[in-house]
């Protein structure tokens, strides 16, 4: 069992870390003040990221991506996690693995331009009445001639203002049991597609979260992604990787950043004639944070390793999602406590990281939903998931 990074992995981590520190973190104050990322600066981030091979590194090389393994992708994602969401999106790209399910023509039209950074994509699954229960969606795709008519509404579409097309889930056979849910590739500029309001959030400043409305949008057969009725199966596979990277790894990255800020401050801040890091109460908060971050990281890398072995990693991904998200929440809370009044000041790094941290326990499946997945697997398998080799 080898825990050392290879020279190539260490170079990857170091390169991403330097890029984040030099190119992304300096822009955070401006984004918090203005609520947006300047388009010229966003383009510059993309160009530099692309030149370094960071953009779409999760996509196979044959399509122009980086072709990284799941483990290597998570190593990079953790380092990107130190930065704000909108900056990660411009540097790392929203190129979802579900696009690999497309035909050659679909890959030419949607996947390849996304990998090149010419077109951007968002996933549109969540609805006002369907959040964690993705199978209860109400959006309908009704057959018309050789194609479809799309009706319905989505919301909380992350980065929707900047996206050129969407991967949309819709019911195609409501009478089937279970209902057939399919995926469609929908360009933003199609007639009948309307972008609604951008929902303001507690955190994630700069990233849009929009509503989408479909009023009889005409879709040809070429818009159907994968086989009809396989939408949930395809999307669950994609969301697993999203949860592992965009939630698990990035949560660990943010927790690591908070822990570093916390320990630096504990060494510098003087009270009663000595650094506050010498007080046992502060030491306990730091120690607990270090323990939990390292535990979550090991779980993350194990889950990624399972994927690289070609195994079903759903339970591991669920465990990572819960542990990483809740570790981030606890570390953020402790950081505010260690910083005291300065940690509560608006637009300070600790305060905004605290706000950003709260959503991690909610999006891409709440902690409660994933605990249910883990418990059902343990009960069904009849063997504890924590056994070595299980």
Give me the pLDDT at residue 304, please.
96
Is residue 124 helix, strand or coil? strand
Give the distance, in angstroms, between the CA of residue 288 and the centroid of all CA atoms in the same chain: 25
Q: Tell me what the mean pLDDT of segment 192-211 comes to.
A: 94
pLDDT of 389 strictly over 70: no
Give me the pLDDT at residue 390, please.
56
**Superfamily for the 121-228 domain:** Butyryl-CoA Dehydrogenase, subunit A, domain 2 (2.40.110.10)
The 10s digit of each residue's pLDDT in 240-290 is 888 999 999 999 999 999 999 999 999 999 999 999 999 999 999 999 999
Q: Is residue 257 within 8 Å of 327, Cβ to Cβ? A: no
Give me the pLDDT at residue 305, please.
95
Categorize the per-residue pLDDT at 384 as very low, low, confident or very high, splitting at 50, 70 and 90: low
Percent of the chain with pLDDT over 70: 96
Name the segment(s) of the chain with CATH classification 2.40.110.10: 121-228
The 10s digit of each residue's pLDDT in 305-318 is 999 999 989 999 99
Rounded Cα gap, residues 55 and 116, in angstroms? 8
Pick the CATH number of 7-115 from 2.60.120.10, 3.30.1370.60, 1.10.540.10, 1.10.300.10: 1.10.540.10
Categorize the per-residue pLDDT at 232 as very low, low, confident or very high, splitting at 50, 70 and 90: confident
Give me the pLDDT at residue 119, please.
94
Name the segment(s) of the chain with CATH classification 1.20.140.10: 233-381
What spatial distance separates the first Cα and last Cα of the chain, rounded to whole Å? 16
pLDDT of 200 strictly over 60: yes
Give me the pLDDT at residue 388, please.
63
pLDDT of 382 strictly over 70: no
Give me the pLDDT at residue 2, please.
84
pLDDT of 177 strictly over 60: no
Q: Is 382 exposed, middle or buried (0-12, 13-18, 19+ CB in 10 A)?
A: exposed
pLDDT of 325 strictly over 60: yes
Q: Is residue 175 within 8 Å of 227, Cβ to Cβ? A: no
Which of 194-208, 225-239, 325-339 is predicted least confidently?
Answer: 225-239
Rounded Cα gap, residues 198 and 107, in angstroms? 29
E strand or H helix that includes residue 167: strand 165-173
Give me the pLDDT at residue 241, please.
84
Determine the length of the chain. 390
Rounded Cα gap, residues 209 and 171, in angstroms? 23
The CATH code that applies to domain 233-381 is: 1.20.140.10
Percent of the chain with pLDDT over 90: 83
Give me the pLDDT at residue 175, please.
77
Top pLDDT among 33 and 94 is at: 33
Residue among 147, 122, 151, 149 at smallest CA distance from 137: 151
Give me the pLDDT at residue 267, please.
97
Give me the pLDDT at residue 364, please.
86
pLDDT of 178 strictly over 70: no
Q: Which residues are registered as beta bridge partners of 183? A: 169, 225
Give me the pLDDT at residue 105, please.
97
pLDDT of 238 strictly over 90: no
Name the segment(s) of the chain with CATH classification 1.10.540.10: 7-115
The 10s digit of each residue's pLDDT in 108-161 is 999 999 999 999 999 999 999 877 776 688 999 999 988 999 999 999 999 999
Give me the pLDDT at residue 375, please.
92
CA angle 23, 29, 31 (to 5 degrees): 85
Give me the pLDDT at residue 62, please.
95
The 10s digit of each residue's pLDDT in 49-59 is 999 999 999 99
What is the average pLDDT value for the chain, to the nearest integer?
93
The 10s digit of each residue's pLDDT in 332-353 is 999 999 999 999 999 789 999 9
Residue among 364, 377, 361 at smallest CA distance from 313: 377
């Amino acid at each position: 069992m080898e825990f050392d990074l290879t020279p190539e992995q260490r170079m990857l981590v170091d390169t991403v870390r330097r890029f984040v520190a030099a190119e992304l973190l300096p822009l955070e104050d401006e984004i918090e003040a203005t609520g947006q990322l300047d388009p010229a600066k966003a383009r510059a981030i993309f160009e530099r990221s692309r030149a370094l091979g960071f953009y779409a590194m999760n996509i196979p090389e044959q399509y122009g991506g980086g072709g990284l393994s799941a483990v290597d992708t998570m190593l990079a994602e953790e380092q990107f996690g130190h930065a704000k969401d909108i900056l990660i999106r411009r540097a790392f790209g929203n190129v979802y693995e579900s696009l690999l399910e497309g035909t050659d023509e679909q890959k030419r039209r949607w996947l390849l331009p996304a990998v090149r950074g010419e077109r951007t994509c968002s996933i549109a699954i969540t609805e006002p009445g369907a959040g964690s229960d993705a199978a209860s969606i109400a959006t309908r795709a009704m057959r018309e001639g050789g194609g479809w008519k799309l009706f319905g509404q989505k919301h909380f579409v992350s980065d929707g203002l900047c996206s050129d097309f969407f991967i949309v889930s819709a019911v195609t056979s409501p009478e089937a049991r279970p209902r057939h849910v399919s995926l469609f590739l929908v360009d933003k500029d199609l007639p009948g597609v309307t972008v609604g309001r951008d929902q303001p959030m507690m955190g994630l400043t700069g990233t849009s979260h929009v509503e989408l409305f479909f009023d009889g949008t005409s879709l040809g057969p070429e818009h159907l992604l994968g086989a009809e009725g396989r939408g949930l199966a395809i999307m669950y596979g994609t969301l697993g990787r999203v949860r592992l990277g965009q939630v698990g790894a990035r949560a660990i990255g943010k927790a690591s950043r908070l822990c570093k800020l916390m320990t630096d401050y504990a060494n510098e801040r003087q009270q009663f004639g000595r650094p506050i890091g010498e007080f046992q109460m502060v030491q306990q908060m730091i120690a607990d944070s270090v323990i939990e971050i390292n535990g979550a990281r090991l779980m993350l890398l194990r889950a990624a390793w399972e994927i690289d072995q070609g195994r079903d990693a759903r339970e591991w991904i669920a465990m990572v999602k819960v542990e990483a998200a809740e570790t981030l929440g606890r570390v953020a809370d402790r950081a505010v406590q260690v910083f005291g009044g300065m940690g509560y000041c608006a637009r300070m790094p600790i305060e905004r990281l605290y706000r950003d941290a709260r959503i991690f326990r909610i999006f891409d499946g709440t902690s409660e939903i994933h605990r249910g997945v883990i418990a059902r697997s343990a009960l069904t398998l009849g063997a504890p998931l924590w056994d070595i080799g299980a």
